[in-house]
Chain A
Amino acid sequence: MKLSFEGVAKSPERRAAVVRPNRQRLKEPAIPSETQAASQSQAESVSAEVASGKRAPRATAESMAREQREISVSEFFAKNRHLLGFDNKRKALLTAVKEAVDNSLDACEEAHILPDLRIVIRQLDEDRFKITVRDNGPGIIKQQIPNIFGKLLYGSKFHRLRMSRGQQGIGISAAGMYGLLTTGRPIQITSRLPRKDEAHYYEIQIDTKKNKPEIVKDETVTVDWDHGTEVTIELVASYLKGRQSVDEYVFQTALANPHASIAYKSPVDPEVQFPRSVNQLPHIPAAIKPHPHGVELGTMIKMLDDTKSKHIGGFLQHEFSRVSPKVAAAVCKEGGVTNRTYVNALEGIAIEKIYKSLQKTKLMAPPTHCLAPIGAEQLLAGLTHGVKAEFFTATTRPPSVYRGNPFLIEVGLAYGGELGPDRHELEAESANGNGKSQESVQARLIRFANRVPLLYQQSACCMYKSVLDISWNNYGISQSRGALPSAPLLVLIHMASVWVPFTSESKEAIADYDEIRKETRLAIQECGRRLSLLLKRKKRTQAYSQRRDVFTRYIDEVVSATRSITRINKDEFRSDLLKLAKKFTRAADLTYDEHGQVIDADENGESKLEHTIVVDRNSSSAPEPAALFDVSNDRRPSRRAARRSA
């Protein structure tokens, strides 16, 4: 599938130009289902004459050619919209929002602008919605707008090996096409460039036959916002709440993009603000050349076609990363050519030999500056803002490589607090006699690839499998076989890579590579160890405060019994005993700072936990749940930590 996109993407103009009414021999091998369907229907009409079930391919090459013609990529996706995430009404809404948001965030980051997003979903009719996504990005120049929004496979991201949310240039135009197909309404774009007084407004629809934009309306307007782009799509969809809802997508996006400020208005609820919790743009990743070990033979042949290098040695050095002149010479020698051999002179077998020798050669791992991790601090900021838990920890693994592609894994854990069952619910249940313990809550996994939430196909995902691989029991968390752990736990996993290996084009689950699984496991284990330490401390504190309760409860009994045996000073005895109770249960008073370190304790055994935040949910100073997304700087961990160390 991927290859076919590439082929089409290379010269969409040319392909579109070849569309002629009929008799055009199909050059596109990528859509076998269509051709098969065509030839089959023909075969069926023939088989009506032939009595037996045996196929009679009477069709001649000429008769077949009459049925054969090129298929526009737009036509193809209009029919196969499930491949792009428009399989059902609910998912369509999510995908449309997602494509617009991904584009906005990518644009802002590339322009080094802290993103400010506003997402509005309006319900027009029972299954008709209008989504509007506005960003504060650099805007889009007028001439490019039709191509970007009205043409599939048009974009800046496909031809480079660089970490970004979008990869193929299908998304937003596909969303527009879907809107057009279902409602007949064109996609509306308003874009304002910086330092320009006016914005341009376009209404565009895609000509699916030609994969070409058609401009419906072209106006100059004034808007009340600064630079940026606003996209509005009307589409048939359905709005539902739950784990795979737009609400959830926006929430998770805010978690993974703490540098973004997002305002979100769903069709039913009042507007929610996800404030920015980090005032710093993430490191903007650089693009890299492909690493030889991640390239397949076919790709290399294509690269040879396109290269500007004349000689094979130069080609190897310039088109790949980690190939030095020395390495290039060695590879050429092994492949039976010299590095001065002309690229044009190479034929199939020779190329294959060079390819094989390239794969055999030991090379440095690919450079990793192309990766932009969210960062443990930022993950913590996002988590503490979005989740009312008791304990937070996060870790970023060093970069690693799968199939020549650099990647890295980040994990965040949140535990306790409101991740547990609702307290009122608990009380009600225990009143009913079927006490539901904290343990019966199942952990939640949220997955990200290049900061984009993955909401579908959890169990097919490599990340999910890695979570199951962990023996959570070792960390004091119960887990039944083949299930997520049972605890008020949130596991966040982020994979950053120049090429995320999705199991399918709809980008829902990550393929199961040993390297990815291993890195994920190591990251979870690191966080798990911190969590278990906290759980142990918590347990101990609890045990001691329980003991103190017991002692205190018995003190009055002991005092009055002693009093009835002999004459004593009741109050003095009582206060002596209370003092002792406090002394013997000192551990109950241990308090921990946000790094899980004991404050004012004479024990030195407690070590500081890296990238960890502990919030006391029992103390009166803990913020109310209503303040979930308030910008309260006091809750910002970095500042608090700074103040403490000051």
Chain B
Amino acid sequence: MVSRKMNRDSKKSRGPVDAKLEGLAGRMVQLAAKGKDPAIDIPLRTLSNVNYNAKSRVIEMGSGVQNRSFFNFGQAKRFMQTMLVASKCKDLIDAKKSASIRQIYYMAKHTIKGTSEKTFNDQSESDPILEDLEVATNSLREELHVFADSKGALVGELQFADSGDFIDAAKLGSGGYAIPSIVEPNVIRFKKCKARFVLHVEKGTVWRRFVEDKFWQQHHCLITHGGGQPPRGVRRLLHRLHHELKLPVFVLLDNDPWGYYIHSVIKQGSINLAYESQRMAIPDAKFIGVSSFDYERFKLTDDVKLSLDESDVKRAKQILEYPWFAGKKPWEKEIKKMMSNGFKMEVEAMISKSLAFLTQDYLPHKLKNKSEWLD
């Protein structure tokens, strides 16, 4: 099992998860017997309940909890759903199987007897409940025998074992290695690494460009992508590569507020999963592009411009106010520049110069010029 430093006040023992689930269910029965409203305390996963730890440079979860009780009309359904998901996780643990979050959704979904109401209408209802359960029982998703859908890929000069199978990430053709949801040492064991750094790009299409142009061969690196906002498996793998293999991590993202936030998640951890920051965040990760200043630096044409809409500006302002951005001069300059530009740019826009520009000119330039990195 994974060991992890506890960054929040933990009264609950870190014992086996099934015992914790049983304890949770038992408490509901006790409360009801005493004539009290059965309720679960769920640590809040909101901006108001996260702190930025300036020393460790990661986002940490605060002590705020939400009390989810059955006989609160607004919460009754969610309480019922939480108990249902918990029971399905218990079933998985007992059966020594694991299921995807989508499979959990189908396992827990059924029509309530005597009505036409469904326990769940959409997977978007069951996903947050799984996260609630993780924080409520202070356990990891994999401990609940649940994994997310795979998203993201890796390619480069790294050899490792995945569930006992030998894998050479340099010899996986054009598809690369699909990063699984669970990448803990009991699943993935690193063997040999010739790479000198990791380049994480935003999307699969950009990643393909780099693979096709054999960028990793020329620069001796690993290239990963997370299909937008990287899932936990990708972030955890990056974290392990950085901490265990001491590889620096460079991030190449679109020049828009969502790109900034992806960087922030990789670097400091996310608000939603603040409790996992310790084993996910990479405070030393560097943002190397695309910068708002690149339009002038590389003399790009109007063709790369995508106009900023209202929601972009709103999001940019929000990001500026996050404690982990606030007070960082270069970032302030970068974000304000984007707003004064009035446009955003995608990584792929660099191809407007030439197909090879991105891999032959842009990135080598960026890797050389440390002054253009954002921390």
Chain A residues near B (Cβ < 8 Å): 547, 550-551, 553-554, 556-558, 560-562, 564-566, 568-569, 572-573, 576-577, 579-581, 583-584
Answer whether residue B308 sits at the interface, using C-beta atoms and an 8 A cutoff: no
Question: Least Cβ distance of A395 to chain B in Å?
Answer: 37
Give every chain B residue within 8 A of A580 (Cβ-Cβ): 32, 35, 37, 70-71
Report 13 cross-chain contacts, Cβ distance below 8 Å, ordered by A residue.
A551-B70, A553-B114, A554-B70, A557-B80, A558-B38, A558-B79, A564-B91, A565-B24, A565-B25, A566-B26, A568-B25, A577-B70, A580-B37
Binds A, one of B81-89, B167-175, B262-270, B322-330: B81-89
A553 touching B112 in the complex, CB below 8 Å, given contacts A561-B84, A577-B32 = yes
A584 touching B37 in the complex, CB below 8 Å, given contacts A553-B117, A558-B79, A577-B70 = yes
Question: Least Cβ distance of A639 to chain B in Å?
Answer: 41
Question: Least Cβ distance of A547 to chain B in Å?
Answer: 5
Contact B90 A554 (CB under 8 A): no
- Chain A residue with minimal CB distance to B19? A566
Contact A556 B35 (CB under 8 A): no
Contact A557 B70 (CB under 8 A): no
- Chain A residue with minimal CB distance to B24? A565
Answer whether residue B22 sits at the interface, using C-beta atoms and an 8 A cutoff: yes
A contact face: mostly helix, strand, loop, or mixed: helix
| Residues 87-107 of chain B, each 1 if its beta carbon lies under 8 Å from chain A, else 0 | 100110000000000000000
Contact B32 A551 (CB under 8 A): no
Answer whether residue B369 sits at the interface, using C-beta atoms and an 8 A cutoff: no
Q: Once bound together, how far apart are the Cα atoms of A551 and B22, in whole Å?
A: 23
A-B contact count (CB 8 A): 83
Give every chain A residue within 8 A of B119 (Cβ-Cβ): 557
Question: Least Cβ distance of B233 to chain A in Å?
Answer: 27
Answer whether residue B29 sits at the interface, using C-beta atoms and an 8 A cutoff: yes
Contact B21 A565 (CB under 8 A): yes
Most chain A CB within 10 A, of B21, B26, B28, is at B28
Answer whether residue B355 sits at the interface, using C-beta atoms and an 8 A cutoff: no
A558 touching B21 in the complex, CB below 8 Å, given contacts A550-B76, A553-B112, A573-B32 = no
Contact B80 A558 (CB under 8 A): yes
Q: Once bound together, how far apart are the Cα atoms of A569 and B29, in whole Å?
A: 9
Contact B73 A550 (CB under 8 A): yes
Question: Least Cβ distance of A564 to chain B in Å?
Answer: 4
Answer whether residue B209 sits at the interface, using C-beta atoms and an 8 A cutoff: no
A551 touching B26 in the complex, CB below 8 Å, given contacts A565-B90, A577-B70 = no
Give every chain B residue within 8 A of A557 (Cβ-Cβ): 80, 83-84, 112, 119
Q: Once bound together, how far apart are the Cα atoms of A551 and B38, in whole Å?
A: 12
B:281-327 near A, CB below 8 Å: none
* Choice from B37, B77, B83, B113 contacting A562 with Cβ under 8 Å: B83
Question: Least Cβ distance of B90 to chain A in Å?
Answer: 5
Contact A558 B83 (CB under 8 A): yes
| Residues 246-267 of chain B, each 1 if its beta carbon lies under 8 Å from chain A, else 0 | 0000000000000000000000
A556 touching B77 in the complex, CB below 8 Å, given contacts A566-B25, A568-B25, A584-B71 = no
Contact A565 B22 (CB under 8 A): yes
Q: Once bound together, how far apart are the Cα atoms of A554 and B114, in whole Å?
A: 11
Contact A562 B112 (CB under 8 A): no
Q: Once bound together, how far apart are the Cα atoms of A566 and B28, in whole Å?
A: 11
Q: Once bound together, how far apart are the Cα atoms of A611 and B37, in whole Å?
A: 41
Give every chain B residue within 8 A of A558 (Cβ-Cβ): 28, 38, 70, 79-80, 83
Question: Least Cβ distance of B183 to chain A in Å?
Answer: 29
Contact A562 B70 (CB under 8 A): no
Q: Once bound together, how far apart are the Cα atoms of A562 and B114, in whole Å?
A: 20
- Chain A residue with minimal CB distance to B91? A564
Q: Once bound together, how far apart are the Cα atoms of A93 and B37, in whole Å?
A: 68
Contact A561 B117 (CB under 8 A): no
Question: Least Cβ distance of B36 to chain A in Å?
Answer: 8
Q: Once bound together, how far apart are the Cα atoms of A568 and B26, in whole Å?
A: 8
Q: Once bound together, how far apart are the Cα atoms of A553 and B25, in whole Å?
A: 19
Answer whether residue B33 sits at the interface, using C-beta atoms and an 8 A cutoff: yes
- Chain B residue with minimal CB distance to A584? B71
Give every chain A residue within 8 A of B114 (Cβ-Cβ): 553
- Chain A residue with minimal CB distance to B69? A584
Answer whether residue B10 sits at the interface, using C-beta atoms and an 8 A cutoff: no
Contact A573 B37 (CB under 8 A): no
Answer whether residue B115 sits at the interface, using C-beta atoms and an 8 A cutoff: yes
Contact A566 B86 (CB under 8 A): no
A554 touching B80 in the complex, CB below 8 Å, given contacts A573-B29, A580-B35 = yes
Give every chain B residue within 8 A of A569 (Cβ-Cβ): 29
Give every chain A residue within 8 A of B35 (Cβ-Cβ): 576, 579-580, 583
Question: Least Cβ distance of A557 to chain B in Å?
Answer: 5
Closest 6 CB pairs of A and B: A565-B25, A576-B32, A561-B87, A561-B83, A566-B22, A554-B80
Q: Once bound together, how far apart are the Cα atoms of A562 and B119, in whole Å?
A: 15
Q: Once bound together, how far apart are the Cα atoms of A547 and B76, in whole Å?
A: 9
Q: Once bound together, how far apart are the Cα atoms of A594 and B62, in whole Å?
A: 55
| Residues 200-224 of chain B, each 1 if its beta carbon lies under 8 Å from chain A, else 0 | 0000000000000000000000000
Question: Least Cβ distance of B142 to chain A in Å?
Answer: 19
Give every chain B residue within 8 A of A553 (Cβ-Cβ): 112, 114-115, 117
Contact A562 B71 (CB under 8 A): no
Give every chain B residue within 8 A of A577 (Cβ-Cβ): 32, 38, 70
Contact B26 A561 (CB under 8 A): no
- Chain B residue with minimal CB distance to A572? B33
Question: Least Cβ distance of A159 to chain B in Å?
Answer: 69
Give every chain B residue within 8 A of A568 (Cβ-Cβ): 25-26, 29
* Choice from A550, A551, A562, A581 contacting B28 with Cβ under 8 Å: A562
Give every chain A residue within 8 A of B87 (Cβ-Cβ): 560-562, 564-565
Give every chain B residue within 8 A of A566 (Cβ-Cβ): 21-22, 25-26, 29
Known: A554-B79, A577-B70. 14 other contacts (CB 8 A): A551-B70, A554-B112, A557-B84, A558-B28, A558-B83, A560-B87, A561-B80, A564-B90, A565-B24, A565-B87, A566-B25, A573-B32, A576-B29, A580-B32
Q: Once bound together, how far apart are the Cα atoms of A583 and B71, in whole Å?
A: 10
Give every chain B residue within 8 A of A547 (Cβ-Cβ): 73
Q: Once bound together, how far apart are the Cα atoms of A551 and B29, in whole Å?
A: 16
A562 touching B25 in the complex, CB below 8 Å, given contacts A547-B73, A554-B112 = yes
Give every chain B residue within 8 A of A562 (Cβ-Cβ): 25, 28-29, 83, 87
* Choice from B24, B26, B32, B77 contacting A554 with Cβ under 8 Å: B77
Question: Least Cβ distance of B174 to chain A in Å?
Answer: 46
Give every chain B residue within 8 A of A560 (Cβ-Cβ): 87
* Choice from A550, A561, A572 contacting B86 with Cβ under 8 Å: A561
